[in-house]
Amino acid sequence: MRILAAPDKFKHCCDARQAAAAIARGVRDGARQAEVLELPLSDGGEGTLDALAKAFPLRVKCRVQDALGREVDAELALDASRKAALVESAQACGLWRLQEHERNPLHTSTFGVGQLVARALDEGVSRVVIGLGGSATSDGGAGMAQALGVRFMGGKGELPRLTGDGLTRISAIDASGLDKRLRNVEVTALCDVNMGLIGPSGATRKYVIQKGGTTGAVDKLELGLALLAEMIKRVNPKADPQDEGSGAAGGLGFGIATLLGGKLQAGSRAVLELLGFEKLLESTSLVITGEGSYDEQTPDGKIVCEVARFCGRAGVPCVVLAGSVLPELEIAGVTAAFEISRFGARKQDALDSGTINLQRFARHVTRLFAARPRGRA
C-alpha cells in the first residue's frame, strides 16, 4: 500500500512541507507496512520554490522591497541549465511578511516582484516563471511594472511608488522604458486562482477583505483596478481584464500579461505537471491532501481541487484534511473531506494544534483505508 501525502500549506499554521510530514507520521502510525511519499505542494503562492525544488534546484539570494517598501532578504531559483528562473511573488509581496495590523491593500505594492524579475534577468535567463498567490497587494501589478521601467503618469507628472490607493490617480502610462531584456524572454505566470481582474468574482470583491482591506477599501480598489485596465488598454489594446487568472495576486496576473507580455497558466495544474504527479499516481493507493480552508474558494483553481481532478481521472481515492470544511462543497475526485479542528476550539488553539490534528486524522484515515475488504479501492 502506497500513500501520497500531498498537501498545500495551512495558512498561519504550517507550511506545505510541515503539513506533508505530519500526514506522513499519521500514515505510519496507522499502517506500519504502508509506503508513504511526502509531496508538499503549492498553487503558485508561498512555498512554490520548495515545491518545485527538483525542477529549479539552484537558489539565488537578493534584497527586494516587501509589500510596504521595506528591504527584505528574498530568493529566486534557477533550473540546472541556468536558462530558466522561478520567481515566487510571495517572497516579495507576500501577506506572510506583514503583521496583522500592517495589512491593508490600499497601502501595499508589488514593486519587489519587479525587482525579483530584474534579478532573474541579471542571470541571463531566457525564461521566467512567476508564481502568484498569497499576496498582500491589490495594485494590478503596477508596482511590479514600475520596478521594471514602466512610468505611470498623473496630473502633475510621474507618480511615485504606486500602491492600491494610487491607482485612481493614473492618467497615462509610458511603457517605453520597460526593461528591454524582456523582449527576448518568455514570461509565464502560475496563477493560484482563475478569476478575472474586476467584477463580483474579481480580485477585489473576493479577496481584499482577507488581505486586511475594509468594505470601503473594496470599492476604491475596484475603481482603481478598473481605471488601470482602461489606461493599459491604451498601451495594449488586447488587454482584457476578464481573462482567467488576471485577478490572481490582486491583479498581478493582469499586469504580467498586459505589460510584460506574459502567459497566464493555472498554477495548480502546471505545478503538478512539473512534479510528474500523473505518473506518481500510477503506483499510488491513496492520496491525502489538504489546505487551511476547504471552502467556496477551493474550486477557483486551488491545488487541492486540481489534485482531486488528477485522482479522479486516475481512479485513485483522494481524501482532504482541512482546518475548516464547507459541508455542502462537492468537488469531483474528492472521496471524502474531514475538518481536523476540534469542535468549538478557538481559532488560535486550532492553529496551534494543526499539525497534531493532521497527524491524528491521517492515522484514522489510513486505518480505515487499510481495513477495507481486499480488492476494494
The reported pLDDT for the residue numbered 295 is 94
Nearest to residue 302, comparing CAs of 329, 278, 279?
329
CA distance 44 to 89: 8
The reported pLDDT for the residue numbered 375 is 56
- CA–CA–CA angle 5, 7, 10 (5° rounding): 135
Taking each helix axis as running N to C, give the angle between helix 303-314 and helix 267-274, from 0 to 180 degrees, rounded to the nearest 10: 60
Can you name the residues that pair with 280 across neighbouring β-strands?
none
CA distance 312 to 314: 5
> Are the C-beta atoms of 178 and 259 separated by less than 8 Å?
yes
> Are the C-beta atoms of 349 and 275 separated by less than 8 Å?
no
Maximum C-alpha span of the chain: 75
Q: What is the DSSP letter of 373?
A: P
CA distance 145 to 163: 12
CATH placement of domain 2-40+275-370: 3.40.50.10350
pTM of the predicted model over 0.85 = yes
Residues of the chain with pLDDT under 70: 374-377
The reported pLDDT for the residue numbered 374 is 64
CATH tag for 48-268 (out of 3.40.50.720, 3.40.50.150, 3.40.190.10, 3.90.1510.10): 3.90.1510.10
Nearest to residue 255, comparing CAs of 234, 232, 275?
232
- CA–CA–CA angle 11, 12, 15 (5° rounding): 60
The reported pLDDT for the residue numbered 344 is 78
Nearest to residue 47, comparing CAs of 98, 86, 80?
86
Residue that has been written with the C-alpha cell 509506503 in this structure? 35
Contacts of 212 (CB under 8 A, 6+ apart): 95, 98, 100, 102, 103, 104, 105, 136
CA distance 106 to 104: 5
pLDDT single digits (tens) 12-31: 899 999 999 999 999 999 99
> What is the residue extent of each domain of the chain?
2-40+275-370, 48-268
The reported pLDDT for the residue numbered 87 is 98
